[in-house]
Amino acid sequence: MGITAGIRTRWGKRVKGGVHPPESKHLTADKPIVRMEAPELVTIPLRQHVGAPCSPRVKRGDRVLVGTLIGDSEAFVSAPVHSSVSGTVRGIAPHPHPAGGESPAVTIENDGLYERDPSLRPLEWRDMEPDEIRRAVRAAGMVGLGGAAFPTHVKLAPPKEFPIDTVILNGAECEPFLTADYRLMLEHPEDVVEGLRIIMSAVGAHRAIIAVEDNKPLAVKKLAEVVRDPSIELRTLKTRYPQGAEKVLITNLLGREVPSGGLPMHVGVVVNNVGTARAIAQYFRTGLPLVERVVTVTGSVIREPSNLLVPLGSSFAAAVEACGGFSASPAKVIMGGPMMGLAQYTLEVPVVKGTSGILALSDREAAYEVPREPVCIRCGRCVEACPMNLIPTYLAAFSHREKWDQVRRLNINDCIECGCCTYTCPTRNPIVQLIKVGKAELARLKTLQEQRAREREEAMEQGGRDGDL
């Protein structure tokens, strides 16, 4: 084990890019994780992950227990959903989803007994084959808890042609305000390391790196106490957003660049969040699937900002209530951090697997201006800040002017939407917003093109047959 400082690549080259917004972590950094009482009704969406949504496995009136499977899917890229409380299913209906729009959700009336499903058993991963571990991880409904909610078992199943040599455990937590991962590393370092060993065993990697930003020295100390394995390296990274972005992390730790359009496995790496590792370890120890997670409820208008252990499906309103409610009326409520989080229009949305934080901003903090016409003074701050080495201002300008061939030429699809360009722009251009528009439009044009090509082919076939007659 060694602690290496700095954000230098393997060749000692300093990695460019990123910004350093006010960290604002002091609000909750010293607050231990407290368990939150589930509300009377929990609403558990059947889509809490990237991939195919689940179909319900229970019906109205069924009695469910903590950990009972309530939704699953046949698809590979999907993760099952379990009940976080014991009680009775009240209905299955579309419900507002924190990631936007509505999603079918199972509403359960909580009986307050928290009776555990008796079929849940601890598992001994040391006796298990990688394939069994992956199946178990899928059965537990594990997804990436850093926010992206990508099904973990898919990450743990790289194809044979891409052998994994390194597992990176992401404890950077570079988003301002969020402290959920920090508290986990502080309070449960053994679980984090245990989960990392399970992941290493599942992907057959012999080396692992736990990466933590240097603004969390206590977490590094705690982890250093429990890491005894020479194959696990603990590394401190310079505090800089978006240090925790998968591709940035890989480049900064290993000096490897994930190819454009590729995945970390293409460079022999699997990246998991420390929260995910902890959840996996907990599952193997107790047999309880993913039914709760740590959420940082914070912001200047939250009366008692805290790190809550929230049963999934509890509404944002209930989580905020558990923190003493609002001290002033919030102007903006965000799921996640201020740089990449999603603004909510209602507090009725439930806490889902990808909810790393609930952030409430005051009128003053949420105030924003967008210029009528985007003006770029070409200061180059966005170019400097872009961790992917793109030219954000051109991407935005071309998107705005609908020059789709140009945005493609400038690799718009390599944008990770971290928002550094927009954060740092002195003319307040909505750069990343325009890039998102451009990406969506390119995707739309691509499907349209494919559809046209198909139609043309069909027409040709039709024509050929007509010609024969």
Partner 1 sequence: METSRFIVSTSPHIRDPITTRKIMCQVIAALAPVTLYSVVIHGIHALYVIASSIAGAMLGELGVQKARRLPVTIDDCSALLTGLLLALTLPPRVPWWIALVAGMVATVLGKQVFGGLGHNLFNPALVGRAVAFVSWAAYMTAGYVKSASIGIAGTAAHRAIEKAVDVAGGATPLAAMKIVYDPSLSPVGPSGVPRGIQASSYYKPLLLANPWGCLGEVSALLLILGGVYLVATRVIDWRIPVIYLGTVAVLTALTGRDPLFYTLAGGLLLGAFFMATDYTTSPLAPRGKVVYALGLGLVTWLLRFWSNNPEGVMFAILFMNGLVPIIDRYIMPRTSGTAPRAKAAGGPCCATSSTWACAPSWSARWRRRGWA
Residues numbered 156 to 185 that lie near partner 1 (CB under 8 A) are 176
Of residues 389, 449, 451, 462, which one binds partner 1 by CB under 8 A? 389
Which runs of consecutive H residues, i.e. helices, occur in 210-293?
A: 217-226, 246-254, 274-286
247 binds partner 1 (CB under 8 A): yes
Contact pattern for partner 1 over residues 59 through 98, marking x by CB under 8 A: -------------------------------------x--
Binding piece for partner 1, criterion CB under 8 A, among 63-71, 303-311, 374-382, 445-453: 374-382
Contact pattern for partner 1 over residues 326 through 355, marking x by CB under 8 A: ----xxxxx-x-xxxxxxxxxxx-------
Q: Quick one: 21 or 151, whose CB is closer to partner 1?
A: 21
362 binds partner 1 (CB under 8 A): no
Of 183, 425, 412, the C-alpha closest to 307 is 183
Give the relative orientation of helices 189-203 and 180-187 as an angle to the nearest 10 degrees.
Answer: 100
CB 177 within 8 A of CB 307: no
Which 3 state secondary structure label does DSSP give 453?
helix
H or E element at residue 12? none
147 binds partner 1 (CB under 8 A): no
383 binds partner 1 (CB under 8 A): yes
Least Å distance between CB 171 and partner 1? 22
**Can you read off the two tokens belonging to residue 55?**
């179909």
Contacts to partner 1 from residues 275-314, by CB under 8 A: none
361 binds partner 1 (CB under 8 A): yes
CA distance 319 to 296: 10
CA distance 18 to 332: 25
CA distance 121 to 356: 27
409 binds partner 1 (CB under 8 A): yes
Which 3 state secondary structure label does DSSP give 33?
strand
265 binds partner 1 (CB under 8 A): no
Of 297, 338, 427, the C-alpha closest to 22 is 338
CA distance 149 to 279: 13
127 binds partner 1 (CB under 8 A): no
Of residues 401, 446, 454, 456, which one binds partner 1 by CB under 8 A? 401
Of residues 94, 112, 163, 380, which one binds partner 1 by CB under 8 A? 380
Q: Quick one: 68 or 393, whose CB is closer to partner 1?
A: 393
433 binds partner 1 (CB under 8 A): yes
Which 3 state secondary structure label does DSSP give 191?
helix
